[in-house]
């Protein structure tokens, strides 16, 4: 991917898409931000609103564009989809959102897009798998935001309960961005101290209760305010930053498994080195037996969801 390109396209101008555009603007990551959406007036309105914030920061060109404009982007971010429910599984949205995301990918690839594609639409992992297999892009260039958000939620919860800066908490959530996510407790630590040995750990809720809190965090926010947008926008922006600055940072994102953890033909989250070309290296955590089995179960959930989608789409 040419490193000189600094155009980012955001597909979808709902709460998540516009929050992503604003976060990208505030973090000075692009010289051009293209907005694409189905409602012309809304897209132009959001672009105009963002343009009027530009004089207070670094010069950025923000405009309502087309998929032809997106083709020249270093990164395209898909945020479009049907609104999520406050309860139930993210996988319940698969049938409807698969149609929408497939349409976006077809239009994007028809214009010759060859940058990095970031998927932020739920159900995240199955749609990341669909995006990779149907776009024809290399595995490295299709990234799902995955459990990067779940990981940050767990760090936040642990930081709050242990009364320590969440940035000093290192705890990974891998697998599905959803109800089968896996917290890697065996590797959790605070400033290098294993979580099990950290002062005050005995006051924490059980590991199961903590993981449930992480899984319910998104629906809880959505039930209170009607949507979730800021935290996921921060995750998208962090991924863009690692790509555009060629940081080779380790981020927990969703990518196609090609034998890692003994898994293939499924996209799920694990630590990855992210740089200019997207996912440059997929890292495997050393899991204990329980964590490995939980990850395999998570992969099975995702494979089943994709298989059911294919079955339902097949002609009788």
Tell me the per-residue pLDDT of 136-185, one tens digit each, with 9 for 90 and over.
Answer: 999 999 999 999 999 999 999 999 999 999 999 999 999 999 999 999 99
Band (2; pLDDT cuts 50, 70, 90): very low
Q: Annotated binding site for beta-D-fructose 1,6-bisphosphate: which residue ranges?
A: 155, 170
pLDDT at 83: 74
Binding residues for substrate: 90, 122-125, 150-153, 228
Catalytic residue among 4, 44, 156, 177: 177
The predicted-structure confidence for 234-273, as pLDDT tens digits, reads as follows 999 999 999 999 999 999 999 999 999 999 999 999 999 9
- Residues annotated in a binding site for NAD(+): 12-17, 38, 67, 97, 103, 120-122, 145
Q: Is 44 a catalytic residue?
A: no
Please report, for the chain, the start and end positions of each structural domain, with discontinuous segments joined by +: 7-144, 147-307
What fold, for 147-307?
A: L-2-Hydroxyisocaproate Dehydrogenase; Chain A, domain 2 (3.90.110)
Question: CA angle at residue 250 from 197 to 233, to 5 degrees?
Answer: 100
What's this model's pTM, rounded to 2 decimal places? 0.95
CA atoms within 13 A on the CB side of 201: 13
Q: Domain spanning 7-144 has what CATH number?
A: 3.40.50.720
CB atoms within 10 A of CB 202: 7
């Amino acid at each position: 991917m040419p490193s000189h390109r600094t155009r980012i396209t955001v597909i979808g101008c709902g709460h998540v898409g516009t929050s992503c555009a604003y976060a990208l603007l505030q973090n000075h990551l692009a010289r051009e931000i293209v907005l694409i959406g189905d409602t012309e007036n809304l897209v132009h309105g959001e672009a105009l609103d963002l343009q009027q914030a530009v004089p207070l920061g670094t010069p950025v060109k923000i405009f309502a564009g087309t998929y032809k404009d997106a083709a020249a982007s270093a990164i395209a971010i898909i945020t479009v989809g049907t609104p999520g429910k406050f309860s139930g599984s993210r996988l319940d949205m698969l049938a409807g959102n698969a149609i929408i995301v497939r349409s976006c990918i077809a239009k994007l690839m028809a214009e010759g897009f060859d940058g990095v594609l970031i998927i932020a639409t739920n159900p995240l992992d199955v749609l990341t798998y669909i995006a990779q297999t149907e776009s024809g892009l290399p595995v490295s260039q299709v990234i799902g935001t995955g459990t990067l958000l779940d990981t940050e939620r767990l760090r936040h919860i642990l930081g709050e309960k242990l009364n320590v800066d969440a940035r000093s908490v290192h705890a990974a959530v891998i697998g599905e961005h959803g109800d089968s996510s896996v917290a890697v407790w065996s590797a959790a630590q605070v400033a290098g101290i294993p979580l099990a040995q950290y002062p005050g750990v005995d006051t924490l809720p059980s590991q199961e209760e903590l993981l449930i809190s992480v899984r319910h965090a998104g629906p809880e926010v959505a039930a209170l305010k009607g949507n979730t947008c800021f935290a996921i926008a921060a995750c998208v922006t962090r991924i863009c930053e690692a790509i555009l600055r060629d940081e080779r940072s380790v981020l927990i994102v969703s990518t196609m498994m090609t034998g890692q953890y003994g898994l293939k033909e499924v996209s799920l989250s694990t630590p990855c080195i992210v740089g200019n070309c997207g996912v440059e290296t997929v890292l495997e955590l050393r899991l204990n037996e329980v964590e490995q089995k939980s990850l395999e179960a998570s992969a099975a959930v995702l494979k089943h969801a994709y298989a059911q989608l294919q079955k339902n789409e097949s002609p009788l």
